[in-house]
Structure 1
């Protein structure tokens, strides 16, 4: 496994991030524990979750599964850089006032609840799951600074922020002499490169590590056409949307044909491509099985040639950083 520093911090993390959203809804507790054991044995040390993972009435279930794994003892918790998120409503039905978003009240409530489910005394990276357009940044940073002083969290990160949100947040933190955001978790992959316009340039300028989610674009970059033909199964989510669009389906077919020519597995190549991108700390992988985890780990050692990278750019054109994507 390879490691890198998370943005401008001294924190070293693995170049693959273990995404846990499937733990509970699609992968039971025993299999989830087995995947975490295998990931740790492979050298991965960066776990990503969120308080709302578990779906519906089971929100929080994913954090609880991770917590029961930590509770098995040993040095599990000491070896893991643990990241979770705050913003979403943990109940069902209409949100009760002050039980979601990023008010100081909800941040305090949410972090204590996550710590209890995770069975730990601190969270290494506490991420804002989405921007809160109503709560002022001075209030947010005051709440975060208190949590850091209490030892409940170490770093703060963002998720699904626009470039100007990153600038706004870190300028507000700078005025308070706070550390500010150290990472941004965003949708970024070969088929979805809009983050290159402003989000990634902003993250690089402010020293944030970029953590791409959905690196296979919901399975669209995992050999979906070949799998549907050979396995006779239907694609879902982003993969289904991509196949339904003739232009996007043509891109994916060209992508699969190119990698077949080079003898490469599409999903592994998609991860390896992200690992070549400037500013990227590591993509989030969400394995449901041991086989999927093994495939993702192989991507770390996969080297893509210059010619192949050029061909990938021809199939999925780069967006270009700001302001070049909008002007000259």
Structure 2
């Protein structure tokens, strides 16, 4: 496994990030533990979760599964760079309660304590703001974070789903207050969705943030979905089905799969490998439901994409171009 720096921190992390969203809802606890063991053995050491994962009545379930894995010992916790998130309402389902969500100082403090308990650890390496909070002053957020850092309960803070201007505002406020600021941004970014290249990634690079793309396969659409449909009768649903119903989207995906079939490459592995070539990217999040899916993702790290292939991929999924030129009429 190749390693890199997590933004402007001293942390060394693998070029892939283990996403745990499926642990609980789709992958049971024993299999989740097997996947985490396999990921760590392969050199993946940044594990990403969120307090809300588990969803519905099971909010917090994913953190609990990870905590039980840490409790097995074997230096598991010491070897992992642990990242979790705060924002979603953690009150009982159907009964949202004020101050149980978003980024108020009270909820940040409450969320950290609850996550530490579920995760069976005494510190979180990377505590991430899951979404922008339009109601809470940035000064209040940093006040809460600084106290938690002083207490040793978190080490770094990061953002998720922040636009470029919010990254700038948040870090400029941190600078004014003497706080360390954000060290990472977790954003939607993949071959088929490249708008992050306009503002988010330039802002992250300017402020020294590591970029951690989520949905690297664009909800499975970049994983060879058309071929899987035709060969295995696999049906799609939800957003994927809606996207495939769009003729222009389907045309691009067909061209993508045809291109990689010509080169003898697996679409999902190429989508991950492409992200690893992008400036500013620390590592994409992979969310395997099985060990076989993890093995496929690991092959992407060793995949060397030629300049010719990168150019052909740009032809199918062109980016917006460099900023600020991308904003020109």
TM-score by length of 1: 0.99
2:171 and 2:181 mapped to 1: Cα distance? 5
**Partner in structure 1 of residue 19 of structure 2:** 19
Instruction: Give the C-alpha shift of residue 235 in structure 1.
Output: 1.4
Instruction: Give the C-alpha shift of residue 322 in structure 1.
Output: 2.5
1:39-73 CA distance string (max 9 Å, x none): 01101100000000001000000000000000001
Q: Secondary structure at the match of 2:185?
A: strand
**Partner in structure 2 of residue 84 of structure 1:** 84
Q: Work out whether residues 224 and 239 of structure 1, in 8 Å CA contact, stay in contact via their aligned partners in 2.
A: no
TM-score by length of 2: 0.98
2:141 and 2:322 mapped to 1: Cα distance? 29
1:119-138 CA distance string (max 9 Å, x none): 00000000000010110011
**Partner in structure 2 of residue 296 of structure 1:** 297
Instruction: Give the C-alpha shift of residue 231 in structure 1.
Output: 1.1
1:208 and 1:237 mapped to 2: Cα distance? 33
1:294 and 1:236 mapped to 2: Cα distance? 25
Matched, 1:116 2:155: no
1:48 and 1:10 mapped to 2: Cα distance? 18
Once superposed, what is the RMSD of the aligned Cα atoms? Answer: 0.8
- Paired residues in the alignment total 328
Q: Work out whether residues 215 and 283 of structure 1, in 8 Å CA contact, stay in contact via their aligned partners in 2.
A: yes
Give the alignment of 1:47-196 within 5 angstroms.
Answer: 47-91=47-91, 92-196=93-197
Instruction: Give the C-alpha shift of residue 270 in structure 1.
Output: 0.2
Instruction: Give the C-alpha shift of residue 177 in structure 1.
Output: 1.1
1:327 and 1:206 mapped to 2: Cα distance? 24
**Partner in structure 1 of residue 307 of structure 2:** 306
Instruction: Give the C-alpha shift of residue 237 in structure 1.
Output: 3.7
**Partner in structure 1 of residue 214 of structure 2:** 213
1:9-44 CA distance string (max 9 Å, x none): 111111100000000000000000000000011011
Q: Work out whether residues 101 and 132 of structure 1, in 8 Å CA contact, stay in contact via their aligned partners in 2.
A: yes
Query: Stretches of 4+ moved more than 4 A in 1?
Result: none
Q: Secondary structure at the match of 2:327?
A: coil
Matched, 1:265 2:266: yes
Structure 2: runs of 5 or more not aligned: none
Structure 1: runs of 5 or more not aligned: none
Q: Work out whether residues 188 and 212 of structure 1, in 8 Å CA contact, stay in contact via their aligned partners in 2.
A: yes
Q: Secondary structure at the match of 2:261?
A: helix
Instruction: Give the C-alpha shift of residue 94 in structure 1.
Output: 4.1
